[in-house]
Amino acid sequence: MTRICRQWMFACLLVGLVVTLSSCGYKDIDKRFFVVSMGIDHNAEAEEDSPRYNVLLKLAIPQADVKAGQEEFILLGEKSDSITNAVRKIKAKVDKELDFSHTKVILFGEDVVKEGDVNRLLDWFMRRRDIQKIAWVGVARPNAEKVLQLKPKSERLPSNALFLSFGQSGTESAFIVSDYLFSFRKRLTERGLDPVLPIIEAEDNELLQIDKSVFMNKDKSLGLLNPEETKLLNLITNRTEKADLEVKTTGTQKFYISINKAKTKYKIKIPRDSEPYAEVNIKLVGTIEESSEDIDPADTKQLKEEAEKRYMKKAEALLSKLQARGADPVGFGLIYRGTHSNSDDWRQWEELYPRLTFKVKIEVRIQGFGGLR
């Protein structure tokens, strides 16, 4: 092959490569709106032919000097029967491309969860490659629009109060249930493990209250947990290691234990000659943080037993409440399936779970009495 032929072949190859090249499809940062949080409510309009959902996007507006309580955002909503169509319509209202790569909170209105629409709506979030699967998921009360409209005075960035609350990088509260998008999806599809989501309430148009939760089956919500039940569920499911236990003695004394270490283990036992039961062993370590009366160190054993007895009853009552509604957020069914692997394990568990009794054992270790002796 002559030198000229080789040069012509190389030139043709270069031309072919140039033709196949495409321009960058990623727009400059000044031509994008970052969607920091999303909400989905039921359409409040009563007409039968009206769109079913109200899809909300909270867009952050960049600022040169960020100050607490002065963050700027745009809350855009569009009524539609699908998230896809709503997002396309919202795009027609703004002059920049919508960027979902920073969407870290997804809120469903309470009505959406009650009526069993979550599974259908979740499909869009799981298919979108630009939606983070580590986004936080929650239930908004009274609706997502009210919660997303809030502008807390301490907030430096739009929706940052929610990010800090769920991620425990700011406040650390035993009353907050946090669940990622990928984990929520798993709980909706995995047999033997059901979802539980935090309830975010708009309080006085300035504050967010997150101390309750909603437990679900694979379709819709089944009931609510009050703050005390939510805290206890977090301890049982190893979601938190920090909590406070309120204990009342037989007299008038009341004291509080600040828990700084918690660990729970479970076992499913099926004796041949008796009913099946679940063994729940909870170990708690903490210090006395407050007391209505003076405490004698010699009474430590009695105080410890009072705390164990009180919270053993509370834990058993909570587990029985979830069982009666047919919910299993702890994952007892998953534990059973993991130890009874056969083609009929799920049917067996569905027959067994309603008959299951709970034997809770709580071991409290009091390390000290704070700064007092």
DSSP state of 297: G
- Average pLDDT for the chain: 89
207's CB contacts (< 8 A; 6+ apart) are 150, 152
Pick the more confident residue, 188 or 12: 188
Task: Please state the separation of Cα 347 from the chain's center in Å.
Answer: 29
Give the tokens for residue 153.
């005075």
Per-residue pLDDT, 340: 84
171, 140 Cβ separation under 8 angstroms: no
The per-type count for the chain, helices as H runs and strands as E runs, is 11, 13
Share of the chain above pLDDT 70, in %: 93
Q: Could you give the C-alpha distances from 372 to 289, 368, 369, in angstroms and in order?
A: 10, 9, 6
DSSP 3-state assignment of 277? strand
Per-residue pLDDT, 155: 83
Asked if residue 73 has pLDDT above 80, the reply is yes
Reported as a single tens digit per residue, the pLDDT across 259-290 is: 999 999 999 999 988 899 999 999 999 998 88
125, 156 Cβ separation under 8 angstroms: no
Reported as a single tens digit per residue, the pLDDT across 30-69 is: 788 999 999 999 998 757 778 899 999 999 987 766 665 5
Q: Does the domain formed by 227-373 have CATH 3.30.300.210?
A: yes
Q: What is the largest CA-CA distance in the chain?
A: 106
Task: Rounding to the nearest 10 degrees, give the CA dihedral for residues 157, 161, 165, 169.
Answer: 30
Asked if residue 15 has pLDDT above 80, the reply is no
Asked if residue 23 has pLDDT above 60, the reply is no
Asked if residue 199 has pLDDT above 60, the reply is yes
Q: Average pLDDT for residues 334-352, to the nearest whole number?
A: 89
260's CB contacts (< 8 A; 6+ apart) are 241, 242, 285, 286, 287
Phi, psi of 195 (to 5 degrees): -80, 155
Q: Average pLDDT for residues 4-26, to the nearest whole number?
A: 68
Q: Rounded to whole angstroms, how far apart are CA atoms 105 and 180?
A: 9
Per-residue pLDDT, 104: 95
Per-residue pLDDT, 18: 63
Q: Could you give the C-alpha distances from 121 to 26, 96, 108, 173, in angstroms and in order?
A: 27, 25, 9, 29
Q: How confident is the model at residue 70 (pLDDT cuts 50, 70, 90)?
A: low
Asked if residue 232 has pLDDT above 80, the reply is yes
Nearest to residue 184, comparing CAs of 213, 208, 160?
A: 213
Give the tokens for residue 59.
């867009």
Q: Average pLDDT for residues 117-126, to the nearest whole number?
A: 94
Q: Rounded to whole angstroms, how far apart are CA atoms 235 and 243?
A: 8
Using a 10 angstrom Cβ sphere, with 0-12 exposed, 13-18 middle and 19 or more buried, the burial of residue 312 is middle
Q: Rounded to whole angstroms, how far apart are CA atoms 347 and 363?
A: 34
Q: How many residues does the chain have?
A: 373
In terms of average pLDDT, the best of 200-209, 284-293, 315-324, 335-344 is 315-324
Q: Average pLDDT for residues 217-235, to the nearest whole number?
A: 95
Q: Rounded to whole angstroms, how far apart are CA atoms 170 and 176?
A: 12
* Alpha-carbon Rg for the chain in angstroms: 27
Nearest to residue 86, comparing CAs of 77, 95, 98?
A: 77
Q: Rounded to whole angstroms, how far apart are CA atoms 219 and 198?
A: 17
Give the tokens for residue 89.
């319509």
Picking from 60-64, 177-181, 266-270, 306-310, which range would have the lowest pLDDT averaged per residue? 60-64
Domain boundaries along the sequence of the chain: 28-225, 227-373
Q: Rounded to whole angstroms, how far apart are CA atoms 225 and 318?
A: 9
Picking from 6-15, 74-83, 326-335, which range would have the lowest pLDDT averaged per residue? 6-15
Q: Rounded to whole angstroms, how far apart are CA atoms 209 and 200?
A: 6
Asked if residue 204 has pLDDT above 80, the reply is no
Q: Rounded to whole angstroms, how far apart are CA atoms 235 and 284?
A: 9
132, 236 Cβ separation under 8 angstroms: no
